[in-house]
Amino acid sequence: MLAPPTAAAQGGSVLLEADVDGRPVGVGNLVLKPTDTVKVSITVRNGTDTVQRVKTVRISGTALALTFFTYDTTVPFDVPPRSVETRTFPLDPNDLGSQATGLLPVTVEVVDVQRETIASVSTTGDVKGSLWSVYGAFGLGVLVLTALSWAGALLALARRRLPANRWQRAMRFLPAGIGTGLVAVISLSVLRLVAPSPAAEIPFIVGAAAVAFVLGYVTPHPGERPSSSVDADTVRIPR
Amino acid sequence: MSQSSVVAALPQYAVGEQIGEGGMGVVYGGVHRQLGRPVAIKRLPHAVAEDPRMSERFEHEARLLARLDHPHIVPVYDYVRQQGEHLLVMERLDGGTVWSRFAGDGLTAQQSCGIVLAALSGLHAAHEAGVLHLDVKPKNLLFTSNGVVKVADFGISQVVSEGATLVTHGGAVLGTPAYIAPEQAMGNALTPAADVYATGTMLYELLCGDLPFERGGGPLAMIQKRVYQDPRPLPNVPEPLAGVVMRSIARDPLARYRNAETFAIDLAGAAGHLFGPDWLVRLNAPVHLAPQVSSSSTRRSLRPVERDTVSLTQQPIRATLVDPVPAARLSGSSTLVPAAQVIRPPSSPWLLWLVAAVTLLAMVVVPFLGSGRGLPEVSLNLADPVQEQGNQLVVTLAGIELANVPRGDTGFVLPGATRWIVGGAVTASADGREFLLVSNQTPWLSLMGTGSALLLLFALAYLESNLRALRRRQTGAAAVVAAVPLGLGLGLAVWLLVSVLLKHEPTVPTALTCGVLGAAAALSASLASRRA
């Protein structure tokens, strides 16, 4: 499920607001086109008693704890205590098309000189990239491999070619289940069917894997196989 | 005729009590008066003695048998034809039969292989001399007091029926239907492969305790199965031994070992592979093998030995079948007819297949027809609140409650999991006012959509697996019983998938109809596969 797109604060009192081409981040999907340079505007509200020294603004897309793209823009500025600072800078994501596509969790962060995140805001990015980008190929690959895993396991079941050991049969179905969970998380987002949600990723994958494991566990014993390997060793005596 | 005629025909023997009786005659014990040698005297049935053609054939066989001199063949000492009696005087073996040991303490796999190698050795010698046995079975393999296996009762069926199997009008079979080769049952031309088949069947039984075909149905059904069905795979016996046995009992004689020696070579090789090159030495049983068989047995194999061999070699296997099939007694050939005349191919279970096809078709069609009660539709993303009038919203799938939520500030907010569960349409009720709640997301994002598709594929694969097991006779009634819940699952999966894709209201009557039709289709197909 998608987490509410409200700004997250570090230290409890530093808030970040961001907008891209005038559209606030966190309201609707953040559309990112590799061909268009966008104007990113960030506003840091420092509610603490110390100066917040911003060095970099980072925009990253992450799924399954894997970062598929990151843009670090150096925008050094200080936010005095109890004050608000706004900075605007252009972002040219021209190589984004080869890195990601589809719906992807996107985070905008402000990072200090020690590379610690001061504040961040998350949203769902709608990346208009290529299907053959890293994320796109990954999602399609997972989809194809999952389909093959299911087909292989089910055909082996139908043809009575599964292992004789019940646990091994369950393990034969496990990859298909894990793949189904990954498809739900990645492939569907590549195809813009559903935005991935970090909260649902693990339950999806574990749940699908468990269901597939149980299905494999309840499959029938394949029985004795017809013999096939003997003829090669047979020596006939000519009569 | 009584025992007195035997006594009269064999004055040089002291004829004792009857020690055996079978479909092919009676056996008496006796002692040679001058030599003091114990003998077994086989008196052929009157039907043979009274038929001049059979008598001629028997005399011919007796001459051939008398010439056989092999350590694994019961030697014939004498043959007397006098006053209508045909008497064969043979060595008397007091060590019991293979059957008595098999039904008693049981035999280990090594012992069984040793016994069968000995029998094959004797059979091959007989085949070389032009004699087929045609009634190889554990009761016809006898032990001497020293433990040497010898094959007895050669060629009797050849004499009586020229090799063809005869049956009575009552359905009893002359001979032993459990071990009979298909070509012998059908009265076709016979070769040593017929004895290979019977020996292979015997080895199958010795190794697993059961016959390669289902029991029951009487002797004619037993023959019918051997003619028209393939044998069951040999359970609990590892390769390459299982492969050797299965090849020896192939239905087609051309797919079998052509003669006893090639069978013995492969059997010795497989046993040597599984039990070690010195297994015959360790067995300590006197087995006389031809040099090529012997070398095959001791040839060291490079292939790894499977783990389950250990249990096979240590556990004695005992007979589980106690000869329930009544054998015909040879009392006059006029009442006997060739088995080929009464054996019919098993009828094709076309009616069951037709029922399966029709119910399967109905199962697929029914969910397309049932479009529900024509309730008004409300289409939305189920992650968003439902904007309908009322205070309480209940969402159900075919009577199963999925959500029951009160009205909130923004409408009815469904639990978060609802959007992942519901695909297509479900029934919703806001304060008793029913409508269809239709998800506007792709159904493949939902458990109802993808789950029903996977359940459908899984049930199909499981059913096909069971049908194959039934066709291969690897399983029996259990797979037929399992077909009912599988068919039910298949029907429900088809119902749910079609309902989701067409956004029809999923209703209980349609679900039940599809489930019952699926169960009926699966049951019919299973019964048909079992009979095929």
Binned average pLDDT, 10 residues per bin, chain B of 532 residues:
70 81 74 85 74 74 78 84 80 84 83 88 85 82 85 67 56 68 78 88 86 73 76 80 87 86 86 80 77 70 53 68 53 57 69 91 88 80 84 89 88 84 89 88 85 93 89 77 93 93 89 94 90 70
Contact B462 A229 (CB under 8 A): no
Which residues are CB-neighbours of B269 under 8 A, at least 6 positions away?
A233, B240, B296, B297, B299, B301
Pair of tokens at residue B298: 């001791």
CB-nearest to B457 from A154, A224, A228 is A154
Is B388 in CB contact (< 8 Å) with chain A? no
d(CA A143, CA A165): 28
Contact A150 B454 (CB under 8 A): yes
CA count, 13 A, side-chain hemisphere, B381: 4
In three-state secondary structure terms, B133 is: coil
Is A154 in CB contact (< 8 Å) with chain B? yes
Q: Give which of B191, B306, B465, B475 to mutate to test A binding, by max A Cβ within 10 Å.
A: B465
Contact A194 B445 (CB under 8 A): yes
Contact A230 B259 (CB under 8 A): no
pLDDT of residue B362: 93
Residue A11 has pLDDT above 70, yes or no: no
On whether the CB atoms of residues B505 and B445 are closer than 8 A, the answer is no
d(CA B413, CA B407): 7
Which of B21 and A213 is assigned the larger pLDDT?
Answer: A213
pLDDT of residue B110: 83
Is A232 in CB contact (< 8 Å) with chain B? no
Is A225 in CB contact (< 8 Å) with chain B? yes
Residues of B in contact with A227 (CB under 8 A): 233, 239-240, 242-243, 246-247
Shortest alpha-carbon distance between residue A74 and chain B (Å): 38
Which of A51 and B48 is assigned the larger pLDDT?
Answer: A51
On whether the CB atoms of residues A173 and B454 are closer than 8 A, the answer is no
On whether the CB atoms of residues B390 and B430 are closer than 8 A, the answer is yes
**Residue B147 burial by Cβ neighbours in a 10 Å radius (0-12, 13-18, 19+):** exposed
CA quadruple A80, A86, A92, A97: dihedral positive or negative? positive
Is B414 in CB contact (< 8 Å) with chain A? no
Residues of B in contact with A222 (CB under 8 A): 465
pLDDT of residue A226: 45
CB-nearest to A224 from B234, B261, B270 is B234
Look at chain A and count its residues. Answer: 239
Interface list for B 429-448 with A (CB within 8 A): 441-442, 444-445
Instruction: Tell me, yes or no, if B135 is annotated catalytic.
Output: yes
On whether the CB atoms of residues A124 and A2 are closer than 8 A, the answer is yes
Beta bridge partners of B134: none
Residue in chain A nearest B460 by alpha carbon? A158
For the residues A219-225, what does the mean pLDDT come to? Answer: 74
CB-nearest to B243 from A157, A229, A236 is A229
Is A65 in CB contact (< 8 Å) with chain B? no
Residues of B in contact with A226 (CB under 8 A): 233, 246, 472
DSSP string, B402-432: EEEEE--SSSB---TTHHHH--SEEEEEETT
CA count, 13 A, side-chain hemisphere, A167: 0
Query: Any idea which residue has 């402000």 for tokens?
Result: A110
pLDDT of residue A42: 92
pLDDT of residue B311: 56
Q: Give which of B474, B480, B481, B486 to mutate to test A binding, by max A Cβ within 10 Å.
A: B474
Residue A174 has pLDDT above 90, yes or no: yes
Query: Any idea which residue has 């009762």 for tokens?
Result: B153
pTM, two decimals, is 0.61
Which of A225 and B433 is assigned the larger pLDDT?
Answer: B433
Helix (H) or strand (E) holding B4: helix B3-9
Beta bridge partners of A78: A53
Contact A188 B445 (CB under 8 A): yes
pLDDT of residue B127: 84
pLDDT of residue B80: 82
Q: Which of A140-149, A186-195, B480-489, B513-522 has the lowest mean pLDDT?
A: A186-195
Catalytic option among B78, B105, B135, B230 = B135
* Closest C-alpha to A146, from A180, A189, A116, A112: A180
Residues of A in contact with B207 (CB under 8 A): none
Residue A168 has pLDDT above 80, yes or no: yes
Beta bridge partners of A67: A62
* Closest C-alpha to B361, from B532, B524, B477, B502: B524
Measured between its terminal Cα atoms, the distance across chain A in Å is 77
